[in-house]
A and B are shown apart, each in its own frame.
Chain A
Amino acid sequence: MPRINSPAELEAFRSSLLSERDPNKTCITLCSGSACHASASREVADSILAEIEKQGLGAEVEFRRTGCHGFCERGPIIVIRPDEICYFQIKPEDVPEIISETIKEKKIIERLLYTDPVTNEKIIHESDIPFYKNQGRIVFGSNVSVDPKNIDDYLAIGGYSALAKVLSGMTPDQVLQEVKKANLRGRGGGGFPAGNKWEGSRNAPGDTKYVIVNADEGDPGAYMDRSLLEGNPHSVLEGLAIGAYTIGSHEGYIYVRQEYPLAVQNVNIAIEQAEEYGLLGKNILGSGFNFVVKVHRGAGAFVCGESTALMTALEGRAGEPRPKYIRSNVVGLWGSPSVLNNVETWANVPLIINNGADWFTQFGTESSKGTKIFSLVGKITNTGLVEVPMGTPLKDIIYKIGGGIPGGKKFKAVQTGGPSGGCLPEEMLDLPVGFDELTKAGSMMGSGGMIIMDEDTCMVDVARYFMEFLTDESCGKCVPCREGMRQMLKILTNITKGKGKEGDIELLEQLAETAKEAALCALGKSSPNPFLSTLQHFRSEYDAHVKEKRCPALSCKELINFYIDPEKCQGCGTCAKKCPSEAIIGGKSMIHIVDQEKCTKCGTCFEVCPPRFRAVRKISGEPVPPPIPEEARTIVRKKKEK
């Protein structure tokens, strides 16, 4: 492929691409994101290719491996276009039937369709499924139609037209004004207006400036940036190039976690292809603008998601943050002005340029515009990535899109904002999602993790969990973070172990206050949030742990015991067989007993006891009833009378 030397040539090339593509040709798209790989989507892909070959359909059927479709709960997913037939949880052995029935005979295979859990109705089309129907996917939506390893797919959906528009007809100032007008705020956590950040760099003195993609997505339970970078890397590169043009930068970096090998691979391929086409590199689209992008792999440190720490890591040193008396957009990487934005933020830029700020601001709330991708995980029926307009109530995300809590359990809390965020209780589910709305409620937007917790989740343990995470990830540079969190973790761990004492909660509050005021970077300053928000909304759970040595959610190991109800046990022996610690005294037709000395509280017996008996109980805050005497253990079954 020769270089594309002008915006007109780009359009001509696009037209020729589209004319070669028949929109009515059958195309099988398969989700090949990391999450689906874990569910064997590679094997499915192999068998699709083999089957197309075997049934002699090579000329009539196109096969495309796309990035993440978002509905990870039901992966791997196949969408057959142009009819938009959607099949879920495909196994390699389903493939021959799909090819022979659906592709050849145009027959729908009922068992592979989505079944609406409420109406029991089978749904054929992706756009009719509640999970997709209730979203607004302007950024993430293209993932389903693009093969990330093929730049032509991105060009076919209008890719790089925003870059062409900027380079051929807009001054850097005009671009800046558009982004400012759109009020695009950073999607990585802080919510700082991207336009202001860019302006600061643009006006800062110096000839060398940098633009950086923060793909060091470290929040546990959040993977939207990975899926975007894996599934549509060109949208991020295009946004980055536009940013570079605006601030006058000629060099960009993508800092991506090495734990995301597919993202690293796809973004490298994307850069190579874009350079070949002349969409990156020297004299882009004949405009005279030069811009190169380099990929750096992060070696695993949560704090490197922080801007100054990330830049230090890019310089080849240990990623510790520095005080921000002067912001990094003025003095950043190698001491030069550097704009750092998150993956999703960059991916929004081409959309704003193409459609205008007015289009963008029609989505969202007063202060938060556009959409946000959330990773909806935890105790939720439809685990996956969802993109909704800002201002969508939490309730709609959890129930309309997420399908509510599985197993008939009761909702307890939603945790947003990653380890620095907070937990919101049921009373707050009407809250619209937005940067300021969530902050006001005591949580935060963060990068978009949304973890759902049900009645079995202990909120004290959640606070302890996040504190453990942050203590582990603290870089150790400042005392309030390094020492304060260690002490908080110690106290919280004691509380979950039943060793809490009067005054612990007050001491935790003091430590939290100190960290908030005195820590060096955002990681330390926000570290007490999980504790403070759980205390605010779930104080009774703290009190139960400290005062009654009881875990109301029956989750803290040291505070619970497993007990077999002699009235219900039928002596089936399942628990005794499965117990990994041989802690169950069994015997044929005997009532089983848990040996409390041996029990490691792994909960296996509780899980395997047949639901029709439900004999195993968890108890907390009360003594375990004494085991029944040996002579009473024989189960006397009633004989069936004729």
Chain B
Amino acid sequence: MDKERIDQIIEKYNCDPSYLIQVLLDIQSENNWLPKEALERVAERLQVPMTRIQHIATFYKAFSLVPKGRHQVHVCVGTACHVRGASRVLDTVQGLTGIEPGETDLDLKFSLETVNCLGCCALGPVVEIDGKTHGKMAPAKTADVLKNYD
């Protein structure tokens, strides 16, 4: 991500340090992760210490300090999905991708995350891949769905 774009985001919030989280969210959503150079630029422009940025970037779930894969797999493990068998779906995804929640595989194909409720409980268990919702999942169906991504 280039410096100019980061500056644009910061200026959108008038360089106000109370908008630090909002700035980081914008960078995260455009770039998929927070590179060190971007954080340094934010620290410089908003005049906040790097330690505070690190604290925030590791405290909140939305941020990632490592690059993400091409496909973001979100397995819902909210209560409604849990009682309908989400853990079996998660096991299947882990088995097929070889990664645990929070990890990205070596060829940057999949990043796996668990989320607590996507709010479409009628479709549970739910898996969201790149923003597309796959409902009423079961282990066999999960394998079929994952095959469609490369």
Contact = CB atoms under 8 A, between A and B. Distances in A.
Given A35-B120, A377-B124, A602-B91, A465 B59 contact: no
A220 interface: yes
Contact of B82 (A218, A301, A465): A465
Interface string A219-237: 1111100110000000000
Interface string B117-134: 111111110100000010
Nearest to B13: A316
Interface in A279-327: 296-302, 313-319
B14 to A, nearest CB: 12
Interface stretch (A112-120, A162-170, A378-386, A503-511): A378-386
A260 B80 CA distance: 18
A462 B20 CA distance: 37
Nearest to B133: A38
A72 B126 CA distance: 14
A318 B53 CA distance: 9
Interface string A565-607: 0000000000000101000000000000000000010111001
A73 B79 contact: no
Contacts of A259: 62, 115, 118
Say what secondary structure dominates the interface of chain B.
helix
Contact of B19 (A299, A300, A316, A465): A316
Given A258-B62, A317-B52, A578-B140, A302 B116 contact: yes
Interface stretch (B3-11, B21-29, B65-73): B21-29
B121 A223 contact: yes
Nearest to B58: A318
B143 interface: yes
A145 interface: no
B56 A580 contact: no
B85 interface: yes
A600 B117 contact: no
B5 to A, nearest CB: 19
Contacts of B21: 296-297, 299, 313, 316
A450 to B, nearest CB: 10
A75 B80 CA distance: 17
A607 B88 CA distance: 12
A241 interface: no
Contacts of A34: 119-120
Given A72-B122, A220-B80, A314-B18, 10 more contacts: A35-B120, A220-B77, A220-B82, A296-B21, A297-B21, A297-B22, A297-B25, A316-B56, A377-B122, A465-B82
Interface of B: 17-22, 24-25, 29, 48, 52, 55-56, 59-63, 77-80, 82-85, 87-88, 91-92, 95, 115-124, 126, 133, 135, 138-140, 143
Interface of A: 34-35, 37-39, 72-73, 75, 218-223, 226-227, 258-260, 296-302, 313-319, 375, 377-379, 383-384, 415, 449, 451, 453, 457, 462, 465-466, 469, 475, 557, 578, 580, 600, 602-604, 607-608
8 contacts: A35-B122, A38-B118, A218-B116, A220-B82, A258-B29, A298-B60, A316-B20, A603-B88
